[in-house]
Chains A and B, each alone.
Chain A
Amino acid sequence: MTDMSEPYSQATGELLKIRGLSKAFPLTKGFLEQLHFEGGRLVRRRESVKAINGVDLDVKRGEALCVVGESGCGKSTVARVVMGLLEPTAGSIQYDGERIDNLPPERLLPYRRKMQMIFQNPYASLNPRLTVKQTLEEPMRFHNPGIGNGELKDKVRDVMDSVGVDPSWRDRFPHEFSGGQRQRISIARALMVDPEFIVADEPISALDVSIQAQVLNLMMDAMEQRALTYMFITHDLSVVEHFGTRVAVMYLGSLCELAPTRTLFETPRHPYTKALISAIPKLTQGRPGHIKLIGEVPTPINLPAGCFFHNRCVYADDRCKVEKPVLHTVDGGCRVACHGVQEGRVD
């Protein structure tokens, strides 16, 4: 097993480049619904949920980039925009040097083969009316229309073998499998077309502890054998320490910190990252000892001015309330978006 926490500089070249990515989901739909009377005048007001707000992120070839954050921070939206399942409001996504966010569907097709996705809930992401064989054959037939039946059968057998599902079960339906087995099948489906890049959106959250370890090990093995690049979306920081080469921490649709995994866990810089890491329950502690945050996550409809985190941060000062911090590089290869860290107020 290779040590996955090597400094990311050893991975070569960017596979995915995300620049200034934003995504807003409009709340008010029709034109008439947008009209309001204000002070005797008719004004048009539009509201939207700002799920991602200007994210710059690179995924390097051969790495496992983990995107972590709490629910509503926009991590799943990033995954979906990258996969082309949602259209970004602003910004660009480049895959292997080519811009893919504005391509027409037919030109996007070759990229869809290189990029695959694994979803959170294997009960919902597998079609209950298709057998395992049909589920696995479908992407292959779609991307290689001329493929022969014999070749397809061999491929299905190989992939099922490699994810640890007995190939003799290929005629069974998803309901006949346990949650862990189903997640193995959805990993198999992603591996069928030999992708280079896999986006995994909380792939182990719906599974039991002993099964989580099995599925994570499987994903690590597949990465090693097939030279995969992962973008791994999760809320579970204890898993990240084992899986990722680099970690991006998100809060309210923006990046707070981007750092190599080991550095992030040894010396978290951003106050939010510190709170997140301290909240992981550990066996070795006797009592919960975590950094308390003030208040609650603000609504993404009306974002706070300045740093999005300022109303929950003990280090916040006047500058934090007005000026939004950008990512700046600090030592150890981390990039942190925090005025306090930059000014040396936060150690």
Chain B
Amino acid sequence: MALLEVKGLEVKFPMRHGELTALRDVSFSLDKGERLGIVGESGAGKSVAAFAILNLIGRPGYISNGEIIFEGSDLAKMNARQIRSIRGNRINMIFQDPMMTLNPVLTIGTQMIECLQTHMNLNREQARERSIEKLRQVQIPSPEDRIDQYPHELSGGMRQRVVIAIALLTDPSVIIADEPTTALDVTIQAEIMELLLSLCEDNDVALMLITHDLGVVSQVTQRTIVMYAGRVVEEGPTRRIVENARHPYTHGLIDALPERTAPGMRLNQIPGVMPSLAAIPTGCSFNPRCEHVMDVCRSEQPGYVTDGEFRVACHWVAGREQQK
């Protein structure tokens, strides 16, 4: 049985003129110790999906449909008190900018101990010891001294290490990382990604990695979901997606990477931009940008074509499957 299972998730934001549907019929599952990548451009709904799992959707947004089954119970139906025993304890989150996540007026130690005393039955001494131990795990030099420092005394890479250490404090079973390295430099990014990967493997933690960087996804994850305009358009094993994407959008996204073009040549590009959620085209939401667009794409939303662990929502792919 899957550790975390999201079924038919729909998130809506009421606006002055009607409601915006930020997520439509999003379903996926995460097994114990599995690493799942969620890829898409800004506005595709990848962060909303992560926030919805932890019941962090800001008002007036709300989950209008669907279930989020974690260890047998539905997170979408939990009240604030119940979800607090899961959030930051069983499912932890790492955000993009470590300076925004850490409280600037508290020492790292205070923030770590606070977290431990909330979720685990530890006294101050034990909590401090455990915190130092976790800081050592994320390879922070001399953690005994660092624990009494404030976030501004650390570099960006060190701060993100601290955030990872905090995420690991309660031995969670899932970590959701929302663009964890976007604010960091390339060399630091590589170090942090490698650290996160090895920590998840060693502690058997499932990782949900949200990013726009396909390179990172291909290095870290086993399975990938591609999102476009609030919907999952393709899902499959990462290597197969990278090497043999089926959906024209995934294809375009991979081809647009500089490494897919010979040096000095014009880059491949997807024409147009992702539609705003207020003006999603009828039929397939990708149809105005798609090179394989057919009449049916403009009128009917495509269902999923499944093939083993692979699924894709595209009329064109469905048509080609039938011909075979």
- Chain A interface residues toward B at CB < 8 A: 1, 3-5, 70-71, 178, 180-181, 208-214, 216-217, 220, 235-239, 241-242, 261-262, 265, 275-276, 278-288, 290, 292-293, 296-297
Contact = CB atoms under 8 A, between A and B. Distances in A.
Contacts of A288: 190, 193-194, 197, 219-220
Could you tell me the dominant secondary structure of chain B's interface residues? helix
B256 A281 contact: no
A242 B185 contact: no
Contacts of A235: 185-186
Given A276-B187, A287-B197, A288-B194, A210 B259 contact: no
Contacts of B157: 296
Contacts of B252: 210
Contacts of A286: 218-219, 239
Given A241-B263, A242-B263, A288-B193, A208 B42 contact: yes
Interface in B145-202: 155-158, 185-191, 193-194, 197
Given A4-B264, A275-B187, A276-B187, A283 B258 contact: no
B219 A1 contact: no
Interface of B: 41-42, 155-158, 185-191, 193-194, 197, 212-216, 218-220, 239, 242, 252-254, 256-261, 263-271, 273-274
A84 B227 CA distance: 44
Given A213-B256, A238-B215, A284-B218, 9 more contacts: A1-B265, A242-B258, A242-B265, A282-B218, A283-B260, A286-B218, A288-B190, A288-B194, A292-B191
21 contacts: A1-B265, A3-B265, A178-B273, A208-B41, A209-B214, A209-B253, A213-B268, A213-B269, A214-B269, A217-B266, A242-B263, A261-B263, A280-B186, A280-B215, A281-B215, A282-B215, A283-B242, A286-B218, A286-B219, A287-B197, A290-B190
A261 B218 CA distance: 26
A280 B186 CA distance: 7
Contacts of B258: 213, 238-239, 241-242
B263 A213 contact: no
B207 to A, nearest CB: 14
Interface centre among A180, A209, A236 (most CB of B within 10 A): A209
A263 to B, nearest CB: 11
Given A209-B256, A242-B263, A281 B218 contact: yes
A281 B273 contact: no
B44 to A, nearest CB: 9
B263 A281 contact: no
A5 B214 contact: no
B253 A242 contact: no
A209 B270 CA distance: 10
A318 B191 CA distance: 28
A342 B188 CA distance: 28
Contacts of B185: 70-71, 235
A97 B270 CA distance: 42
Given A287-B197, A288-B194, A293 B187 contact: yes
B159 to A, nearest CB: 12
Contact of B256 (A5, A210, A236, A296): A210
Nearest to A266: B263
B215 to A, nearest CB: 3
Contacts of A241: 258-259, 263
A296 B197 CA distance: 21
B77 to A, nearest CB: 34
A3 B253 contact: no
Contacts of B187: 70, 275-276, 279, 290, 293
A208 B43 CA distance: 10
A4 B263 CA distance: 8
A46 to B, nearest CB: 23
Contact of B273 (A180, A209, A262): A180
Contacts of B261: 242
A208 B41 CA distance: 6
A220 B264 CA distance: 10
Contacts of B216: 281
Contacts of B193: 281, 288
B273 A238 contact: no
A287 B220 CA distance: 6
Nearest to B154: A296
Nearest to B158: A296
B273 A211 contact: yes
Contacts of A210: 41, 252-253, 256, 269-270
Q: Which 3 A-B pairs have the closest CB atoms?
A: A281-B215, A70-B185, A5-B264
A261 B262 CA distance: 13
Given A214-B269, A216-B267, A238-B258, A279 B186 contact: yes
B254 A5 contact: no
A287 B273 contact: no
Contact of A282 (B158, B259, B264): B259
Nearest to B270: A210
Nearest to A236: B186
A238 B155 contact: no
B267 A213 contact: yes
B290 to A, nearest CB: 13
B215 A209 contact: no
